[in-house]
């Protein structure tokens, strides 16, 4: 989870990712931030985020992203 928090902080250090749960729906992240986020998550965690995972619910909070990362890792095993 620390790696994910580092990625998020690099994108926008002013957001409190421990409590924020509207990163996409609240328009905190713009399209460039989202593309950067997906790329960095894929590279850092060595996972492929497929089209079925590209839904706002998976990216609205750090917790949701972490759950998605764990789920993808389990599916890849």
The domain spanning residue 45 has which CATH number? 1.10.1200.10
Residue 77: pLDDT band by 50, 70, 90 thresholds? confident
The position carrying tokens 């620390």 is 2
- pLDDT confidence bin for 69, thresholds 50/70/90: very high
Give the single-character DSSP code of 58. Answer: G
Q: How far apart are CA 26 and CA 1, in angstroms?
A: 22
* Total number of domains constituting the chain: 1
- Expressed as residue numbers, the domain containing 44 is 2-76
pLDDT at 30 over 90: yes
């Amino acid at each position: 989870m620390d790696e994910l928090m580092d990625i998020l902080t690099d994108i926008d250090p002013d957001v409190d990712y421990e409590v924020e749960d509207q990163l996409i729906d609240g328009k905190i992240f713009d399209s460039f931030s989202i593309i950067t986020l997906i790329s960095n998550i894929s590279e850092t965690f060595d996972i492929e985020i497929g089209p079925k995972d590209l839904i706002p619910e998976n990216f609205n909070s750090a917790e949701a992203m972490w759950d998605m990362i764990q789920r993808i890792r389990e599916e890849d095993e």
